[in-house]
Structure 1
Amino acid sequence: MIKTAFYLKDQKITRFKMTGHADFATEGLDIVCAGVSALAINTVNSLERFTPQVPQVQSDNVNGGYLEVTGVGMDEKSQLLLAAFQNGIIDIAERYDQYIEVKMFEI
């Protein structure tokens, strides 16, 4: 299962973390993993290209799947990209709830 956590302060996303694997299908055919990965990679790339603050990214695909993004901007562009990412992840989780879990934490 992919476990996704969004950390919010004053209704703004300050960071997010994803761990695990979907295990929906075999590697290369796992549409849940592919969808989540595409959203996450696009979000990180977009934050790096289109916002003034470059986020810090830690990842480890080998040992259980891990992505943590911190140091995101609180500016409007950064938050819009993060909200779009959160929306996409929630949409996938609603359809494939046995393969992905989404939690929100107020900090």
Structure 2
Amino acid sequence: MIEVKFREDDYGNLISFEVTGHAGYGVHGEDIICAAVSVLAIETVNSVERLAGYQMLVDEADAKGGYLYAEIRTDTEAEQQYITQILLKHLFYSLEDVAQTYPDYVSIKMQ
């Protein structure tokens, strides 16, 4: 199962997310759920860089896959934070939709 944990600050702003595990829905390399979650998570990190103009703090397990951690930087300007929140909330809602469609394969938690 893929587990996604979002962390928020005291004001309800998303500050990080962590994706772990594999869905096990299909064979390795052809698992549509793993692919969907991976694309959403990775493209969110890429979009923050392109649209908000900074790189998130990222840790990933390239060799094994199945792990991605991304955290916003605290030294960003208000507009960068605003853009980042839109992108992270889009990620949250998109993954929530995937989890509702495939509840046996994806779990979303807010910390």
The CA distance in 1 between the partners of 2:63 and 2:22, in whole Å, is 10
Which structure: greater strand fraction?
Answer: 1
Q: State the one-letter code of the partner of 1:94.
A: Q
Match runs of 1:18-57 below 5 Å:
18-57=19-58
Partner in structure 2 of residue 3 of structure 1: 3
The CA distance in 1 between the partners of 2:67 and 2:39, in whole Å, is 14
Q: Which is worse superposed, 89-98 or 20-29?
A: 20-29
Query: Which consecutive unaligned segments of at least 5 residues does structure 2 have?
Result: none
Percentage of pairs with the same residue: 36
Q: State the one-letter code of the partner of 2:8.
A: L
TM-fit CA distance, 1:63:
3.8
Cα root mean square deviation, aligned: 1.5
Q: For residues 14-41 of structure 1, give each alpha carbon's deviation from its aligned partner in whole angstroms, at most 9, with x where no partner exists.
A: 0000100011000222110111011011
Q: For residues 37-88 of structure 1, give each alpha carbon's deviation from its aligned partner in whole angstroms, at most 9, with x where no partner exists.
A: 1101110100111113320111004346110001346711110000001110
Partner in structure 1 of residue 18 of structure 2: 17
Q: State the one-letter code of the partner of 1:41.
A: I
Q: State the one-letter code of the partner of 1:20.
A: G
Give structure 1 regions of 4+ aligned residues with deviation exceeding 6 angstroms.
none
The CA distance in 1 between the partners of 2:104 and 2:28, in whole Å, is 17
Q: State the one-letter code of the partner of 1:36.
A: V
| Match 1:101 to one of 93, 102, 107 | 107
